[in-house]
Amino acid sequence: MKIVVTGGLGFIGSHTVVELQNEGFEVVAIDNLSNSSESVLEGIFNITGKKPIFEKLDLREKLAVQDFFKKHNDVVGVIHFAASKAVGESVENPLLYYENNINALVYVLQELTKLNKANFIFSSSCTVYGQAEKMPITENAPVQSAMSPYGNTKQIGEEIITDTAKVTNLNSILLRYFNPIGAHSSAEIGELPLGVPQNLVPFITQTAIGLREKLSVFGDDYPTSDGTAVRDYIHVVDLAKAHVVALKRLLDNKNLEKVETFNLGTGTGSSVLEVINAFEKVSNQKLNYQIVGRREGDITEAYANTDKANNVLGWKAQFSLEEALASAWKWEQKIRG
């Protein structure tokens, strides 16, 4: 069965392509290479022995999207990762985010819903909860006015899908990721942040390898155990496997509603200092860091209630924080070594 993975050469996309191929799916990876490189195809091949069909395509080009789905009209499902995802950049350049994250989604859905099967997995984010009132966060927690244009595009994306599913053949699962980290155990694929990393773990590994002078810890005056902010860090391979489970749920018509939502996290919150300590343990080296002021827009705490993912979706994260950090470190050493 043919599955389209948009953003298929990206961080989570490439790991999901591997897991789909491991399950015997034929994969068409779409990417515009704005935040990835074609060499990722080699990495995927080195892991699975198969190269996905690769189509270099910018999903903002409506005619190109139409041509793609005319060519691949035997597609039975789409996993949609393609989007811009830097919170800070989205504040500075909101229109880039609305064009890339919304227009592209609309064009894909317009073509997908013309096919026999319209199964759609959407890459969403816990950022839609803003600072949730209650921890751990369930799927029923209110979706608050997002903290950034990036978060807003995820919220709007979910609404577009929900409205479309009401009047078309679309069946969809919205996956709200917490904080994806780590890399495939082979170190053949991993996170390739362009420029200065915005996210914590790639900044940690780049500091440890000597690419960055020191890590700035954004605030130690939060109301948490050690004053630093708490997140739910989930191994990217656990996340990728969840996408295959969700896709199979749709293909097997096991979805109870036309649009279902699942939080994907470990269910455990870790503070920035706890992540640093865990990294020092797995890398056996001290990390150079300095406590500085809070980062604009950051929330205090977010970690997932994973009951629905565990009991309804039938998926549970397997890797620990230490294992995820060890895989991120192995990847950093491989690409910079």
In angstroms, the CA 276 to CA 11 distance is: 22
Using the minimum distance from each CB to ligand WQD, give the nearer residue, 84 or 171.
84
Residue 253 sits at φ, ψ, to 5 deg, of: 55, 35
Q: Please report whether residue 144 would count as binding ligand WQD according to CB under 6 A.
A: no
Using the minimum distance from each CB to ligand WQD, give the nearer residue, 65 or 200.
200
Which among 239, 234, 254 is positioned nearest to 312, based on CA atoms? 254
250, 173 contact by CB (below 8 A): yes
Q: How far is the CB of 62 from ligand WQD (least distance, A)?
A: 25
Number of alpha carbons in the 13 Å side-chain half-sphere of residue 188: 15
Q: How far is the CB of 299 from ligand WQD (least distance, A)?
A: 7
CA angle 178, 256, 161 (to 5 degrees): 60
Q: Residue 230's CB: how many other CB atoms inside 10 A?
A: 21
Q: Please report whether residue 236 would count as binding ligand WQD according to CB under 6 A.
A: no
Using the minimum distance from each CB to ligand WQD, give the nearer residue, 45 or 218.
218
Q: How far is the CB of 276 from ligand WQD (least distance, A)?
A: 9
Binding pattern to ligand WQD, positions 283-302, x when CB under 6 A? Answer: ------------x--x----
Position among 272, 282, 317, 324 found at the interface with ligand WQD (CB under 6 A)? 272
In angstroms, the CA 270 to CA 130 distance is: 18
Q: Please report whether residue 278 would count as binding ligand WQD according to CB under 6 A.
A: no
In angstroms, the CA 174 to CA 33 distance is: 24
- In this structure, which amino acid lies at residue 275? V
In angstroms, the CA 107 to CA 286 distance is: 48
Q: How far is the CB of 146 from ligand WQD (least distance, A)?
A: 9
Using the minimum distance from each CB to ligand WQD, give the nearer residue, 69 or 97.
97
Q: Please report whether residue 320 would count as binding ligand WQD according to CB under 6 A.
A: no
- Using CB under 6 A as the binding rule, the residues of this chain from 175 to 234 that contact ligand WQD are 179, 198-200, 203, 215-218, 229, 231
Residue numbers annotated as active site: 150
Angle between helices 272-283 and 200-208 (to 10 degrees): 40
Distances in Å between the Cα of 65 and the Cα atoms of 117, 158, 166 are 17, 20, 23
Q: How far is the CB of 333 from ligand WQD (least distance, A)?
A: 20
Q: How far is the CB of 295 from ligand WQD (least distance, A)?
A: 5
Which among 181, 276, 278, 271 is positioned nearest to 229, based on CA atoms? 271
- Using CB under 6 A as the binding rule, the residues of this chain from 70 to 129 that contact ligand WQD are 85, 87, 125, 127
- Using CB under 6 A as the binding rule, the residues of this chain from 10 to 69 that contact ligand WQD are none
Number of residues near ligand WQD (by CB under 6 A): 18
Residue 201 token pair: 């773990």
**Which positions touch ligand WQD (CB under 6 A)?**
85, 87, 125, 127, 179, 198-200, 203, 215-218, 229, 231, 272, 295, 298
